[in-house]
Each structure stands twice: as C-alpha cells, then as structure tokens.
Amino acid sequence: MKKRLILLFVFSFSLFVTSYSNEHKGTAGIMAETNSGVSIKSSRMEYPVQLLPGQSFSGWYYYWSNSGAISANLQISPAVNWLIITPSSFTSNGCSDIKAVNYTFIAPAAPGTYSTSIIDLNNNWEATNVTLTVTNSPTLNRYDSTVSAPSGQTANRYHVSSYMPITNLGCNYNYFPGSQCQTIHTLHPAVTWLNINPNNFLVNQNSSVTAVKSFNYNTAGIYHTLECRTKQWFSNPVYIYWTFNVGAISVQNLGQEIPEEYSLSQNYPNPFNPKTIINFQLPMSNDVKLIVYDVLGKEVAVLVNEQLKPGTYEVEWNASDYPSGVYFYKLTTGDFVETKKMMLVK
C-alpha cells in the first residue's frame, strides 16, 4: 500500500509546506516544529523523537482518508511502556475529516535507543516506525546559541510563538487542530541566570505570544543550560543549548572591505587592565569561535561563537572579574586556527 506523506515545518513566524504523493486509500502526516531548513524525508513512515531521561512529551500524528470512510484500529507492536496512543480507533470520512492522534512519550530513565511500530490492524494505513532516543545531549531539532553580557547587566532574547492555520493538510486549506495551542519552555538544568517569561502559555488561533528570555549574572564565567520548547499539535520538541558568557562584549564588524586571508591580530593594549581589543579578519563567511583560556587550558570566556560574513571584526574583552595572569585567545574558523598570548595586570 502506498502512502502520501506531508511534512510541515513551522518557523517562528511562517509556515512552510513540502509534499509528495502517491494515490492510496489513506494518508497520514506529521507536523514538526523547527527553526531552520525544510526537507523531504522518504516515503517510508518514520517518527524519530529525542527526549531527555525521564522526560514526558505529547507528539501528534494526523490521519485522513482520500477515498470515503476509512477506519483505523491502531496497535503498538511490540507493546512498550514508554508510548501511549490516543485515540487508537477512529474513522475518517474523507480528506477534510482529519484525525489528530496523540502520541504520549514517557522516556525511560536509562539513556538508549528504543523502538516500536504503530500498525493498523484494519490494514488501511501503513505501519509507522517509532524510534525514541533517550539522551542527555539531544541533536534532533537542536540549536546552539551564545549570549554575552557584562557582569550584572541583562541581555534579552525573544521568541514569538504563533498559531496560524495549516494550509495544506488533507484537502483543508485553513485547518486548526484545536482552538488554542499551548507552548511550554523548560530549562535542563534549571538556572538562576536565565528567566523566560512567560514560560507556559496558550496561543489563540491567528495570534502570537512573545516570550522574553532574560540573561543576567553577577559572576564572570561561562554558563550552560539546555532549553526545551514544546508546542501543542507538533511532533517534536525543540532544544536550544545556551552558552552564557558573562564579562564579554559582542563582536563588531569594522567595515565592508573583504580581506584576502584569515588573520588574528595581537590584542591591544597588552598588558591590559581590565579591557582589551582583539581584531580578526575573515575572507569568507564561516562559523567562527574566539575563545579565551587560562594557563591551565581551561576555557574562561567565549567571545564569539556564531557564523559571520567576510570582514574585519573587533571584539572587546572585559576582564574586570578575572585575576591577573597570562591568558590565551584562540580563533577557529574553517581550517584556520591560531592562538595568541595576552597578559592581564591589575
């Protein structure tokens, strides 16, 4: 039996749809939230999910008929204790009669890969292979982001959650699975230096809610946490691995001229107290890391960790919360790696 699969990828503000089709008796679809990229997966029905140990998550799968009344009698095979589907039996009367099925995951405490299949005992829908990966470091729908701020100062980031109609699910052109959509932000581990407000809220149809993420800490250093964002009616959580660099200043582009080669300049002034400037050049767009280490090789400050366009850049490091001594700063971009020494004297 062949199947048409429609994968929906919802961005912060926009909805993008990709599809491919073969005529058949029944259709299932996934809605999945992500922050970048639209891709088409194979026609084989696969449902991968990555969760933290012990994490619970409700994902959603959508079924509809392309040819009159079609009934489903879904069964988890083999039976597992980490997955529940509701409802397991239903009838779709046509392509506009979409049935939302809730897949409730309860991740085991032990990291590992767990798998099962959802089969239709009526043989109207093909089996869906479900793979649950339990890990402390999820990679599916994960994005890394760095925020820098001086000690005691607040840096804000924003996320807009919208609930707009799905325009290409079955033969519905303005389909809402429900009247509201719940969004939840959680931190793993919970930290005092990041506050998300609101962190649990409902979004009405054709509306949006902005969550403010406020970063603030008084002690210089590098801090990490993992944000998990779950959104009702979607099939996967989104993870953001935050690096909060307290005591650094954001990178600045000094001009439009494109350099001929990569370079890392000596900081100035050197020795310094408490601020110093570091310049570097990029002849092409690339991912860039500029990291400060102490004499023991311990990472003490992430000055840059992002993709930058070609240009000459300047970053100021405020080391007022760091002890006197020798430090090393290392630039890594593409195949170019260079390290230089500097001295803080108070």
Most distant CA pair in the chain, distance:
80
Q: Who has greater pLDDT, 107 or 94?
A: 107
Mean pLDDT of 151-179: 86
Question: Is residue 4 very low, low, confident or very high in pLDDT (cuts 50, 70, 90)?
Answer: very low
Q: What is the pLDDT of residue 20?
A: 23
- Write the secondary structure of the chain as one string of H (helix), E (strand) and C (coil): CCCCEEEEEECCCCEEEEEECCCCCEEEEEEEECCCCCCCCCCCCEEEEEECCCCEEEEEEEEEECCCCEEEEEEEECCCCCEEEECCEEEECCCCCCEEEEEEEECCCCCEEEEEEEEECCCCCCCEEEEEEECCCCCCCEEEEEEEECCCCCEEEEEEEEECCECCECCECCECCCCEEEEEEEEECCCCCEEEECCEEEEECCEEEEEEEEECCCCCEEEEEEEEEEECCCCCCEEEEEEEEECECCCEECCCCCCCCCEECCCECCCECCEEEEEEEECCCEEEEEEEEECCCCEEEEEEEEEECCEEEEEEEECCCCCCEEEEEEEEECCEEEEEEEEECC
Q: What is the pLDDT of residue 22?
A: 23
Share of the chain above pLDDT 90, in %: 59
Question: Is residue 31 very low, low, confident or very high in pLDDT (cuts 50, 70, 90)?
Answer: very low
For residue range 178-210, list pLDDT tens digits in order.
Answer: 999 999 999 999 999 999 999 999 999 999 999
Using CA atoms, how far apart are residues 328 and 178, in angstroms rounded to an integer?
55
End-to-end CA separation in angstroms for the chain: 74
Share of the chain above pLDDT 70, in %: 86
Using CA atoms, how far apart are residues 188 and 179, in angstroms rounded to an integer?
30
Q: What is the pLDDT of residue 115?
A: 97
Tokens representing 118 are: 């959802």
Mean pLDDT of the chain: 84
Question: Is residue 166 very low, low, confident or very high in pLDDT (cuts 50, 70, 90)?
Answer: confident
Using CA atoms, how far apart are residues 14 and 66, in angstroms rounded to an integer?
27
* 38-42, 83-87, 109-113: range with lowest mean pLDDT: 38-42
Residues 248/318, Cβ–Cβ less than 8 Å: yes
* 57-61, 70-74, 151-155, 239-243: range with lowest mean pLDDT: 151-155
Q: What is the pLDDT of residue 250?
A: 62
Residues 206/165, Cβ–Cβ less than 8 Å: yes
Residues 55/109, Cβ–Cβ less than 8 Å: no
Q: What is the pLDDT of residue 334?
A: 92
Q: What is the pLDDT of residue 314?
A: 93
Q: Which domains does the chain have, with CATH numbers?
A: 3-134 (2.60.40.2310), 181-246 (no CATH), 251-344 (2.60.40.1930)
For residue range 264-286, list pLDDT tens digits in order.
Answer: 999 999 999 999 999 999 999 99
Mean pLDDT of 282-296: 93
Total residue count of the chain as it appears in this document? 346
Using CA atoms, how far apart are residues 23 and 1, in angstroms rounded to an integer?
9
Q: What is the pLDDT of residue 171?
A: 82
The identity of residue 325, as a single letter, is G
